[in-house]
Structure 1
Amino acid sequence: MQERDIVIAGGGMVGVSLALQLAASLPAAARITLVEGFALPASDAEPQYHPSFDARSTALSFSSRDIYRRMGVWRALEQWACPIDSIHVSHRGHFGSTLMRAADYDWPALGYVVENPWLGKALLGALRRQGRVEVLSPARVTGVVPAAAGAELEVEGAADPHWRAGLLVVADGAGSTLRDSLGVTVREKVYGQSALIANVSFARPHDGRAYERFTASGPLALLPLLPSRPGECRSALVWTLPPERAAALAGCAQEEFLEALQAGFGYRLGRFLQTGERHCYPLVLRESCEQLRRGVVVMGNAAHTLHPVAGQGFNLALRDVARLVATLADAGSAGYGDLAVLQRYHRAQRQDQRRTIGASDRLPELFMRRDPLLGLARDLALSGLDVASPLKREFVRHAAGVAALGEVGDYRA
């Protein structure tokens, strides 16, 4: 039987990030294996998409940048990351708005936006360079049986399918078959909306500014991207809409789509000029009813999938990664799968999870309710952030993940 200290099931952005953090933090004797069901591309391969358009993007908070810097990934990643120098939040048809600027806090940026293929290229390159983590791809963990110390696994695609791991990390996505096979139930809240995703270009420079505009149909976000050719101004669009409207706009002619987007966003960036491929994703809040058992921990989208407002889902997952690894490093090899150790991780991270999930769940509904008194309160609250500096600073610290991560020092449980 193959023996490993930690097996990570899932080689997406969360799984690879966890593998890199473990490799950077645990003793050299720790045996770590990453198992991914799809064949991972070569780390030196260029992303297979047109560089101007047709790529989903991730907004990395300031705390996520710090996590990647500590694990040695940021230097390779930052060449593809567009800094968010400011964030403008507004409510369409209302007077309330606020502007948050990195310069007000002496930060290099409030966050960064990177297209997922470039993020994947940087992570896979770092994974292969560090040389510590064994990678099985394509392969899948298809069976889990609790054992006295950890879990016994069936690994399809491995030369020997019989494995024993001190800790199994389930990180195979929102529709995790491994999580389901363990009998872990999931709470779901269906929002009855879809996110329309596309990259768009426009006439005026975005100057590193992100926009979050709340409309009657839901939030409309534009996240700044680096130009793919000189003089280009482009951003990643995340537009929350009723499913029928989102599907219609995803399939209509470009001119009709740009006209609708112009009407929804306005002319702060001038006229919209072009859109890439448009995709729709139904919006559902999913939370795993269990995140840990003896020898097992559920992470990433398998643990919690959030509404995209404020782009907090992946950033929360990275903070989970940092907290778990810090807890395991303190516990030592004998405690990687120990239930008391995993409970210590979860207790330390639970407040961050509850606060982030709760905010992403309640914020869109708050701005969509049409009560006049509530609308006035919303507008006053937005405008008041620019007046109440301490309140605004605390709001920004939480939005950037700094309050949860800690501004200095190691991330310790």
Structure 2
Amino acid sequence: MSEQRDILIAGGGMVGISLALQLAVRLPDTVRITLVEGYPFPEQGVAPGHPSFDARSTALSYSSRLLYEQSGQWQDLAAQACAIETIHVSRRGRFGSAVLRAEEHGWPALGYVVENALLGHSLAQALLRQGRVEVVSPARVTAVEPDRAGTLVQLEGAGQSCLHTRLLVVADGADSSLRESLGVAVADKPYGQHALIANVAFAEPHRGCAYERFTASGPLALLPLVPIAGASNRSALVWALSPERAAELKASNEDDFLEALQEAYGYRLGRFLRAGERHTYPLSRREAQEQVRRGVVVMGNAAHTLHPVAGQGFNLALRDVARLAAVLSEVGDGDYGALDPLQRYQRAQQADQQRTIGASDLLPELFMHSDPLLGMARDLALSGLDVTPRLKREFVRYAAGVAALDGQSGEAL
């Protein structure tokens, strides 16, 4: 006989934990919520080696701050976050550029940068402190069997064997085995590039500025980080390169790597002084062709994986989380797996998802195209943002996710 749950979240990465925290705030205490995570989930936070909390950093948009404020996590996150007060967008060797400033919108910041290890630890601690959500870890879902009342979930590990849930949330990452076992197809678009990531230190202070520079090989972003001992001026580097060049730079010695980075970026931050451990991963756009069905929702990277050019992937997923939690809070009969509310969630998020995914897909291709007329149009468009306040204001509202939240005014978000 299987034990009954109302909502089971498969995947304890940043999206899964964020959803659990949102649901704990919005749903009645009688609702039974379980999070299943394959990696150990110890009392002191996420164990080292968890793939969601690796050496990368996450750029949280201003809208993500608002959502974490509502669910009660922002105060802890703020101490570890570096505010993005300015964003400087440019293209190497061209005249076009744009500068976006938080003060022009009356915001404290356009966004915030947090190292994934710190972000993951903070969210995990918040989940454990609140004690509202049952955490089953280390355990993994080995099989699922939908039925009329929900889904029968077979587990391996943590003393659990079988649970039945009204709603199964699939949030186990871009290469989701659970999504595959449910027969959900994906559309995959490889970009033929790898992202090289590292934390780098330089001579001049970043002053809360994020730099997005489009080079011939692909976009190069430097996201400001809080200072640490021995590196008061540092940023998180995300550099899109050919797989061969990414592998070469990853394997190169530190001096050669810094020289190549200096050549690609320039001296706006002075000389690059140090580089931390380098990692690479392939870039692709991946979308699940089905995000909801009776008793099932696919979320996070399992639902959509984006190019990192604009740092929108996790922020879009967090808006998905907030929307789903809002819709489920309106389910009066407690059938959280009913198709009607799940389809309502998908319809409500469709425009935000299409706009964000489309923009993240278009930008790298647009700036890498070599046509000279198109290049002139790009430069004029960048420069035009600085001289057209209304266009700039709307652009920033959408980039920061605030426009999407404003569009949810009919719900208590």
Give the structure-1-normalised TM-score.
0.96
State the partner residue of 1:284. 284
User: 1:165, CA displacement in angstroms?
Assistant: 0.4
Q: How does 1:94-133 map to 2 (within 5 A)?
A: 94-133=94-133
5+ residue gaps, structure 1: none
SS at match of 1:146: strand
State the partner residue of 1:374. 374
| Number of equivalenced pairs | 409
Relative to structure 1, the CA distance from residue 48 to residue 169 in structure 2 (aligned partners, 3 Å threshold; closer, same or farther) is: closer
Counterpart contact for 1:5–1:333, Cα < 8 Å: no
State the partner residue of 1:15. 16
Counterpart contact for 2:286–2:306, Cα < 8 Å: yes
User: 1:331, CA displacement in angstroms?
Assistant: 1.5
SS at match of 2:238: strand
State the partner residue of 2:3. 2
State the partner residue of 2:39. 38
Between the aligned partners of 1:380 and 1:242, the Cα distance in structure 2 is 28
Misfit runs of 4+, over 3 Å: 44-49, 407-413
Between the aligned partners of 2:343 and 2:253, the Cα distance in structure 1 is 52
SS at match of 1:94: coil
State the partner residue of 1:134. 134
User: 1:335, CA displacement in angstroms?
Assistant: 3.1
Bigger Cα displacement from structure 2, 318-327 vs 401-410? 401-410
State the partner residue of 1:364. 364
State the partner residue of 1:234. 234
Between the aligned partners of 2:75 and 2:49, the Cα distance in structure 1 is 22
User: 1:229, CA displacement in angstroms?
Assistant: 2.1
Q: For 1:355-387, what per-residue CA distance to the aligned partner results, in whole angstroms no more than 9, with x for missing partners?
A: 000000010000000111110000000000011
Q: How does 1:9-408 map to 2 (within 5 A)?
A: 9-43=10-44, 55-229=55-229, 232-406=232-406
Amino acid at match of 1:300: G
Amino acid at match of 1:18: L
Relative to structure 1, the CA distance from residue 59 to residue 245 in structure 2 (aligned partners, 3 Å threshold; closer, same or farther) is: same
Counterpart contact for 1:322–1:411, Cα < 8 Å: no
Relative to structure 1, the CA distance from residue 93 to residue 306 in structure 2 (aligned partners, 3 Å threshold; closer, same or farther) is: same
Between the aligned partners of 2:407 and 2:228, the Cα distance in structure 1 is 33
Q: For 1:311-340, what per-residue CA distance to the aligned partner results, in whole angstroms no more than 9, with x for missing partners?
A: 000000000000000000012353310011
Between the aligned partners of 1:326 and 1:35, the Cα distance in structure 2 is 22
Relative to structure 1, the CA distance from residue 408 to residue 81 in structure 2 (aligned partners, 3 Å threshold; closer, same or farther) is: farther
Counterpart contact for 2:40–2:46, Cα < 8 Å: no
Identity %: 66
Counterpart contact for 1:202–1:234, Cα < 8 Å: yes
Amino acid at match of 2:10: A
Counterpart contact for 2:184–2:290, Cα < 8 Å: yes
Relative to structure 1, the CA distance from residue 372 to residue 272 in structure 2 (aligned partners, 3 Å threshold; closer, same or farther) is: same
Amino acid at match of 1:181: S
Q: For 1:35-67, what per-residue CA distance to the aligned partner results, in whole angstroms no more than 9, with x for missing partners?
A: 001112433689799xxxx83110000000111
User: 1:164, CA displacement in angstroms?
Assistant: 1.1
Between the aligned partners of 1:283 and 1:333, the Cα distance in structure 2 is 42
Bigger Cα displacement from structure 2, 84-93 vs 144-153? 144-153
Amino acid at match of 2:392: K
User: 1:159, CA displacement in angstroms?
Assistant: 3.4
Q: For 1:248-268, what per-residue CA distance to the aligned partner results, in whole angstroms no more than 9, with x for missing partners?
A: 001001000000000000000
Counterpart contact for 1:323–1:412, Cα < 8 Å: no
User: 1:160, CA displacement in angstroms?
Assistant: 4.4
Between the aligned partners of 1:410 and 1:68, the Cα distance in structure 2 is 19
Between the aligned partners of 1:39 and 1:395, the Cα distance in structure 2 is 41
User: 1:144, CA displacement in angstroms?
Assistant: 1.2
Relative to structure 1, the CA distance from residue 333 to residue 223 in structure 2 (aligned partners, 3 Å threshold; closer, same or farther) is: farther
SS at match of 2:118: helix
Relative to structure 1, the CA distance from residue 411 to residue 252 in structure 2 (aligned partners, 3 Å threshold; closer, same or farther) is: farther
SS at match of 1:194: strand
Q: For 1:257-316, what per-residue CA distance to the aligned partner results, in whole angstroms no more than 9, with x for missing partners?
A: 000000000000000000001111110111001101100000000000100011000000
Counterpart contact for 2:8–2:33, Cα < 8 Å: yes
Between the aligned partners of 1:298 and 1:375, the Cα distance in structure 2 is 38
Relative to structure 1, the CA distance from residue 411 to residue 198 in structure 2 (aligned partners, 3 Å threshold; closer, same or farther) is: farther
SS at match of 1:334: coil
Relative to structure 1, the CA distance from residue 318 to residue 59 in structure 2 (aligned partners, 3 Å threshold; closer, same or farther) is: same
Between the aligned partners of 2:333 and 2:6, the Cα distance in structure 1 is 7
Between the aligned partners of 1:298 and 1:14, the Cα distance in structure 2 is 11
Relative to structure 1, the CA distance from residue 250 to residue 160 in structure 2 (aligned partners, 3 Å threshold; closer, same or farther) is: closer
Amino acid at match of 2:374: L
Counterpart contact for 2:100–2:396, Cα < 8 Å: yes
Between the aligned partners of 1:36 and 1:251, the Cα distance in structure 2 is 33
Between the aligned partners of 1:6 and 1:251, the Cα distance in structure 2 is 45
5+ residue gaps, structure 2: none
Relative to structure 1, the CA distance from residue 336 to residue 45 in structure 2 (aligned partners, 3 Å threshold; closer, same or farther) is: closer
Between the aligned partners of 2:337 and 2:174, the Cα distance in structure 1 is 23
Amino acid at match of 1:363: L
Counterpart contact for 1:198–1:277, Cα < 8 Å: yes
SS at match of 1:80: coil
